[in-house]
Structure 1
Amino acid sequence: MLDLITLINIDDSAGDRLQCRRRAAPALDARAVADSTLPTRAAMPSSSPYRRRPSGCYLLAVPAAVWHALVAAQSPAPAPPAQRVEIRADPGSERRADVAGRQVVGRADLLRHGDTQLADALQRVPGITVERRGQAVELKLSALGDGRTLVLLNGEPLPRGVPLDSIALDSLERVEIINGASVETAQAIAGTINLVTRRPTALATRDFRLSLASEWGLPQASATLNLGDAVGAATWGLGLTLSSDRRRWPATDVLARRDVGTGSETQRTRTDKREYDHSDAISLNPRLSWKRGDETGGQWQLSTDHSLRLAQANGGVADRRTPLRGPPPAQQTSDMALNYQRLFWRWRVQAQHQATDSAKTEARANITYARRDQQARALGYDFDQRLVQDTAVDGLAVDESLVLNLNHQRPLGETHRLSLGAEWEQARRKEDRVQTEQDLPGGLPPDNLDERFDARVQRHAFYLQDEWAPDDRTAMQLGVRMERLETDSRGNVFDTVRQTHSLVGPVLRASWRPGSGRGTVKLGLSRGFKLPAPRDVMPRRYVPIAVSPTSPAQSGNPDLQPERAWSLDASWQDKVAAFGGDMVLSASLRRIDDVMLDRLIAQPAVLNAPWLLQRVNAGRAWSTGLTLELRGQLEHTALAGAPLRWTASGSLARSRLSDVTGPDPALPGQAPWQLKIGLTQALPRGWTAQLGLEARGASKADLPTDRRIENLSRHGLDASLGWQPRRGQTWRLSVAQLAASDDVTLRTVGVTEAGGAAVYTAREAWHRDTVWRFGLDSTF
């Protein structure tokens, strides 16, 4: 009698799909089980790290067993053959229901390919572009980079000074993506990528992940342990990650100079560059939540979570130059050793009250602290192997922030819901830098520096929003955000600069389902802005080893103003029965005022930095984007009952600068098209195969002061093979960047020198190698 339901199998390859098998149910057929209401918590992937407490299928066993006993006592019947009943959640339903078209990438999808770096997992998500230049990583929406895509951590901007790889992928529960600004976050022109960390759960958690990888023949290893459980009204969780990575980023840079008058090439130099890093890190993520009811029937919840990461690294940069034409450069070899220690700590506490009338009040505080101690030494040798540069730099950078939020939501009748909130932020970045150079024969005059910088930002914001549902097919959001920012930049090498900025950002969004039932249409209008980064404001010089018009020194501009933008976003989403999936078509239009770009300044009297690049506000820019996302499955006879599941996305993007001349005045680094394809096939005996392809087109951008940047097209292939010998355990072998192209950037600059007009060109190619990874995910 108790064999009514003997197996619950959750198929990982099917995404949010629950499979219940039963062997004997004379009076309860498959349709009855399929029509039963199951809690959404049951829809978890097979690799879920949770030890299940009674779920929906187990709860069905109790009444079903009683019914089975009653029927069997009266008229026993032979058991029917084993049957499989599938209850599948629509993966696009949440996105259709959200007025803003919020795209959610769950934990199972983030970990599906065995990645350990956040950027690697997000590279497969439609609409997100991951840009890499050596160790630097940037996330883009609508292919708009340079800080126009805001990365959030639990709804708060990711603290400055915290690199993306500091966020452990295993610590995340999901990633939320919204195009355009919102009343909660106006500092986003292209949109927001919100990283939501794991919360304590009432389900007992005991799992670990192990990953071993190799790139360029160098080993990488990480191990993660997750624990959690419930104790009375409280739930707790603890995540621990240990990692040790050895990485290399090789590149080749070819610099050429050509006289405009004669058309002849007077100089060509090849530089073989190698960035390298050996880092060891430990990350700790404790979390705690507590709930209790009140006398009115409402519920209080108090939660807190922390992140602590310590990293120790030894790395550097090695350059080898080969003159191919013209006079040799000043240095043949340059070696910079870089040692640093990083500390990142985040503390977050949240109190929430849910009333019986659905009113909700939430208050939270977020404190972050990031510290980087860095010591560097650069040695340069000329072609006679004489030491011509010996520079030592001791730097300390500290980022601190405190953010307070208060939000209240209350229904107004049956069709309106009012949200109002306030935010206050105090952020500070302090940087001390001491540079000591030796006076060597044949070298440049020593540039000894003792610089101190202190940038402070105080932000006040208030927002109000009405969510209105006129009927069961229409939903609207009408809101406004008022924000005021006060910046104070000071130091011992420049005069104090104080600025005040105010912004009123309306947000209008609407969602409508036509009476014909053909999909859901969404439309949004918002106004947002982008603040300058501290290094863009502080007039500190960043001087490369070999200064040229294509590789100039850089300095901040204290007079830099924020970018302000109007954004118009539209989308249409519908289920497509032809391939058993859904389709999303989205479009965007941005008008960016006071766009921040770089200008080149010639200063021949400054021997250490004859060319300087500085940020300026360069008028207006327009940007458009179009994206098509498809998801479905293909039934085939090779594997009955195991369809090939596929995703595909394609996007187009264009931009134009109003105040820049040239054939292609555009925002730099915006790929004109991008294609992503993913295939997943479940195989017999617990095996699963996955394949992914990404490709993007070449971009061209003419910029102020006769500069031009081109990014060549690129592509890459990923594949993985997983095996699940038992429930809760997955072995995985994956390969990334298979047959991947190099990341190539072409820079062209026209200048006027003492010898007349000249054109400098540089071809920088970052080489990519295949990454092999072996991993194990298991519960215990």
Structure 2
Amino acid sequence: MNHLTPFACAALLGLAGTALAQTDPASDKPATTTTTPDKPADKVIPQVTITGGRQTEMDVRRNSTAAKQIYGREELDRNGDSNLGDVLKRLPGVTIGGRPGRGGDVRMRGLGSGYTQVLVNGERPPAGFSMESISPDQVERIEVMRGPVAEHSTRAIAGTINVVLREDYVQRDNQLKVSDSLESGRHSPELSITVPGKSGAFSYSLNGSIRQNRQHDEGRTRNLDTLGDGSVTKDQLVTDESSGTGKAIHLAPRLSYKFDNGDTLNFQPFLMHNTRDSGSSSTLVQTAGSVAPEYNFAEQQSHNDSTFFRGFGNWLHKMDGNAKLDVKFGFGAGKMDSDSLRRQYDTAGTLLDRFTDTDKTRDRSINTGGKYTRPLGAGHLLAAGWDLEASHREQTRVSLDKNGNAQFADSGDNLTADTRRIALFAQDEWDVTPQFGMYVGLRWEGIRTTSDRSAGTVKNTSSVFSPLLHGVWRIPGSEKDQLRASLTKSYKSPNVQDLIAAPFLSRLNSATRPDRSGNPDLKPELATGLDLAYEHYIGRGGIVSAGGFIRDIDNLIRRQLSLRDTELGPRWLSTPANIGHARTSGIELEAKFKLNELIADAPDIDVRSNYSRFWSRVDGIPGPDNRLDQQAKQTANLGLDYRLKAVPLTVGGSYNWTPRIRTQTSTCLLYRAGGGDGPEARAGRVRAVEVRRPHPAAHRGLERAGRGCAGQQPGVR
């Protein structure tokens, strides 16, 4: 009965207001109604209207002080998607890395991997976690935040996507789904099942899926190496073909218990097991070059096996004065094993070399955090909290040639890495007036990474202090219009692999396929951001918005390419480094509405559309394509849904567009991806990179100085 108290109070207030309205202002006596002798007085019945229930997604977005886009069950149910990736790629400004339909890392504002923070219930998932393991049926809503907020990590230069799982929802029926996808004639079936249940205060939902994935890829890479006078020292065309079959089992139950005092305990474990077997072949044709090619034909077989277990939960404790304490906890463990065998042959079919590579990686992690919130009055909420996280990684990599010789110095050594992270935050969200609301937040994060290997102990320590300011102005006299502004500090921390990674050798070493290593001296990228947006709300669930943003980035991390003398001879090496300053900006347009709310007698059609345009510039690299890595210039989505009146059926479709990417990654390298115009593009993946170097004598001087190809002129594209 307690949840009916607010509505009862509203009813009493409505009755009281009606009674006051019927009182004669000039007298303490109630007002009388004029009657005639033969007609009785009309009885006045007050009318009281009570509205209640949860806010809609659009209401939450509209009332939020910090800019937040909410996509709830209506959006999740609209297209019958089997995984979250298909849902996310239709959101404004969101793209999915990798080949279309293959899944990949989630990106916002066109920025590459690592710039977008993806959370599940406010928690950062562990390495190797796949969003495909979460069924859309388990999700309550998806929150898209353009600017960081203090309660979540500020490792979100592009923004944050928070997937909030269902809590109070209890599905009544068992559910079985069977789906299949088709790519180039290859089927990838999937079977998923959901079994809900409830017993008193305890409720659960058992979710699992089994899938098989078959893929085939073809691609061409041209390696062109020229000197400063334009003469060609090497021209190679590499044609690759690969096929593979992967199998996966995902289990994701959800358990919830509600105590008598109103406290709630939630726990959600994830178990993921994936295996993949693949084979590939490579043909190399060299039309120019004084040095013999590494091979003419190569074949490789690989096997990968990974298992991840992750559990996270929270305990929500309600306190006096509508205050509450939300304590989070989580842990995880994972193992990844891979092995491959590669054979390389000359033009006569003679075996030149055989390479075996094995990699064993083990991960463990534990984390906790909490948030205390207390209302300070109507429209005023204060919050403070903490985050603690510890992780441990062990990795052993062995690389041998046909004679059993190790291919790098640390081959076979056990590499360990430990990461510790601590964060403290406080935030104040306040509707200062009915027209103006503001959000002030402060967050401090410290990260320490330590690694032990044969070369010695490597340590990296960094900390970031992030002040955050958001504001919303609801335009007086126009309840449907409002302006938003945000001024924030955010960052992107180096990942463990970039800090302490063991060397990875490329079997066809070139500028496009270099060896890779880590850099223990990396610093986090720091970004100052400004966001502006105008929002106009239409009807019950429509909106038209236009916004823009700027991110000014210092300590930009980018992989640098250099040619070095090694025990295996001259080899190209890619190493991450802080190269300086960059800036990115963009405009974001969104329109979402029901057509019959704008045009009378129009059909019942829902329209969803968005368009984003991005710019970026990296200082010290010549243009015109000196953009941030992997950033698309544009992205757009268009969706239409039509509700049939005669039958309970909705039909619709959506279209996603992202053009190809051209990036000048250094003064001598240009990267192209995402399509093309020639036959190579139609054959599949296309990578084309030209490397231009000065005269060999000058080149050797540069290598001794550690500059690689920095400062050289870019090649013809």
Which of the five TM-score ranges fits, normalised by the shorter chain? 0.7 to 0.9
> 1:329 matched to which residue of 2?
293
> 2:595 matched to which residue of 1?
634
Return closer, same or farther for 1:188/1:239 CA change in 2, 3 Å cut-off.
same
> 2:112 matched to which residue of 1?
145
Letter in 2 for 1:301: T
Return closer, same or farther for 1:149/1:248 CA change in 2, 3 Å cut-off.
same
> 2:696 matched to which residue of 1?
754
1:551 match: secondary structure: coil
Match of 1:121 among 87, 92, 96: 87
Return closer, same or farther for 1:316/1:137 CA change in 2, 3 Å cut-off.
farther
Mapped to 2, the partners of 1:761 and 1:381 lie a distance apart of 31
Match of 2:580 among 616, 619, 624: 619
> 2:244 matched to which residue of 1?
277
Letter in 2 for 1:113: N
Match of 2:403 among 421, 439, 442: 439
Residues 650-669 of structure 1 aligned to structure 2 (within 5 Å): 650-669=611-630
> 1:340 matched to which residue of 2?
304
Q: Is the 8 A contact 2:612 2:636 kept in 1?
A: yes
> 1:220 matched to which residue of 2?
188
Q: CA deviation at 1:365?
A: 0.5
> 1:104 matched to which residue of 2?
70
Mapped to 2, the partners of 1:292 and 1:740 lie a distance apart of 60
Q: Is the 8 A contact 1:712 1:745 kept in 2?
A: no
Return closer, same or farther for 1:489/1:524 CA change in 2, 3 Å cut-off.
same
Task: Tell me, yes or no, if structure 1 residue 702 matches structure 2 residue 664.
Answer: yes
> 1:526 matched to which residue of 2?
488
2:412 match: secondary structure: strand
> 2:642 matched to which residue of 1?
681
Residues 512-591 of structure 1 aligned to structure 2 (within 5 Å): 512-517=473-478, 518-576=480-538, 581-591=542-552
Task: Tell me, yes or no, if structure 1 residue 189 matches structure 2 residue 189.
Answer: no
More strand by share: 1
Letter in 2 for 1:361: L
Return closer, same or farther for 1:275/1:147 CA change in 2, 3 Å cut-off.
farther
> 1:315 matched to which residue of 2?
278
Mapped to 1, the partners of 2:319 and 2:212 lie a distance apart of 47
Match of 1:469 among 411, 431, 440: 431
Mapped to 2, the partners of 1:191 and 1:94 lie a distance apart of 18
* Structure 1 alignment gaps of length 5 or more: 1-34, 41-88, 716-738, 764-780
> 1:66 matched to which residue of 2?
none
Q: Is the 8 A contact 2:672 2:687 kept in 1?
A: yes
Return closer, same or farther for 1:539/1:376 CA change in 2, 3 Å cut-off.
same
Match of 2:142 among 175, 199, 207: 175
Letter in 2 for 1:196: V
Q: Is the 8 A contact 2:460 2:520 kept in 1?
A: no
Residues 391-540 of structure 1 aligned to structure 2 (within 5 Å): 391-439=355-403, 449-492=411-454, 494-517=455-478, 518-540=480-502
Q: CA deviation at 1:613?
A: 0.8
Deviations 1:130-171 (A, max 9, x none): 221597822211111131111222212221233454555554
Match of 2:98 among 119, 132, 139: 132
Letter in 1 for 2:97: E
2:413 match: secondary structure: strand
Deviations 1:693-715 (A, max 9, x none): 22234544333453333446689
Letter in 2 for 1:105: Y
Letter in 2 for 1:554: R
Deviations 1:258-289 (A, max 9, x none): 4442x355644332223433122211112211
Mapped to 1, the partners of 2:72 and 2:195 lie a distance apart of 19
Q: Is the 8 A contact 2:375 2:382 kept in 1?
A: yes
Mapped to 2, the partners of 1:596 and 1:360 lie a distance apart of 40
Mapped to 2, the partners of 1:376 and 1:212 lie a distance apart of 30
2:61 match: secondary structure: helix
Task: Tell me, yes or no, if structure 1 residue 244 matches structure 2 residue 212.
Answer: yes
Return closer, same or farther for 1:248/1:576 CA change in 2, 3 Å cut-off.
same
Deviations 1:509-534 (A, max 9, x none): 11120103151211112212111111
Q: Is the 8 A contact 1:519 1:575 kept in 2?
A: yes
Higher alpha-carbon deviation: 750-759 or 474-483: 750-759
Return closer, same or farther for 1:760/1:482 CA change in 2, 3 Å cut-off.
closer
Return closer, same or farther for 1:605/1:91 CA change in 2, 3 Å cut-off.
closer
> 1:21 matched to which residue of 2?
none
Return closer, same or farther for 1:36/1:270 CA change in 2, 3 Å cut-off.
farther
Q: CA deviation at 1:224?
A: 1.0
Q: Is the 8 A contact 2:120 2:164 kept in 1?
A: yes
Q: Is the 8 A contact 1:588 1:626 kept in 2?
A: yes
> 1:83 matched to which residue of 2?
none
Residues 283-302 of structure 1 aligned to structure 2 (within 5 Å): 283-294=250-261, 299-302=262-265
Q: Is the 8 A contact 1:149 1:188 kept in 2?
A: yes
Letter in 2 for 1:660: I
> 1:55 matched to which residue of 2?
none
Mapped to 2, the partners of 1:306 and 1:714 lie a distance apart of 43
> 1:79 matched to which residue of 2?
none
Mapped to 2, the partners of 1:714 and 1:117 lie a distance apart of 29
Aligned length: 649
Q: CA deviation at 1:333?
A: 2.2
Return closer, same or farther for 1:238/1:281 CA change in 2, 3 Å cut-off.
same
Return closer, same or farther for 1:593/1:398 CA change in 2, 3 Å cut-off.
same
Q: CA deviation at 1:308?
A: 0.9
Mapped to 1, the partners of 2:421 and 2:475 lie a distance apart of 41
Q: Is the 8 A contact 2:443 2:466 kept in 1?
A: yes
Task: Tell me, yes or no, if structure 1 residue 305 matches structure 2 residue 268.
Answer: yes
Mapped to 1, the partners of 2:353 and 2:71 lie a distance apart of 49
Residues 195-206 of structure 1 aligned to structure 2 (within 5 Å): 195-199=163-167, 201-206=169-174
Return closer, same or farther for 1:115/1:745 CA change in 2, 3 Å cut-off.
farther
> 2:26 matched to which residue of 1?
none
Q: Is the 8 A contact 1:342 1:372 kept in 2?
A: yes
Mapped to 2, the partners of 1:741 and 1:478 lie a distance apart of 52
Q: CA deviation at 1:650?
A: 0.9
Deviations 1:366-400 (A, max 9, x none): 11212112122122222111122211122111222
Mapped to 2, the partners of 1:403 and 1:337 lie a distance apart of 38
Mapped to 2, the partners of 1:741 and 1:569 lie a distance apart of 41
Percent of pairs identical after alignment? 25
Higher alpha-carbon deviation: 465-474 or 161-170: 161-170
CA RMSD of superposed structures (Å): 3.3
Deviations 1:461-487 (A, max 9, x none): 110111111122222111101122221
Q: CA deviation at 1:315?
A: 1.9
Return closer, same or farther for 1:629/1:208 CA change in 2, 3 Å cut-off.
same
Return closer, same or farther for 1:319/1:760 CA change in 2, 3 Å cut-off.
farther
Return closer, same or farther for 1:378/1:744 CA change in 2, 3 Å cut-off.
closer
Return closer, same or farther for 1:288/1:689 CA change in 2, 3 Å cut-off.
same
Return closer, same or farther for 1:608/1:419 CA change in 2, 3 Å cut-off.
farther
Letter in 2 for 1:190: A
Q: CA deviation at 1:343?
A: 0.9
> 1:95 matched to which residue of 2?
61
Q: CA deviation at 1:326?
A: 5.5
> 2:345 matched to which residue of 1?
381
Return closer, same or farther for 1:762/1:219 CA change in 2, 3 Å cut-off.
farther
* Structure 2 alignment gaps of length 5 or more: 1-48, 700-711
Letter in 2 for 1:363: V
> 1:257 matched to which residue of 2?
225
Q: Is the 8 A contact 1:349 1:364 kept in 2?
A: yes
Return closer, same or farther for 1:176/1:398 CA change in 2, 3 Å cut-off.
farther
1:541 match: secondary structure: coil
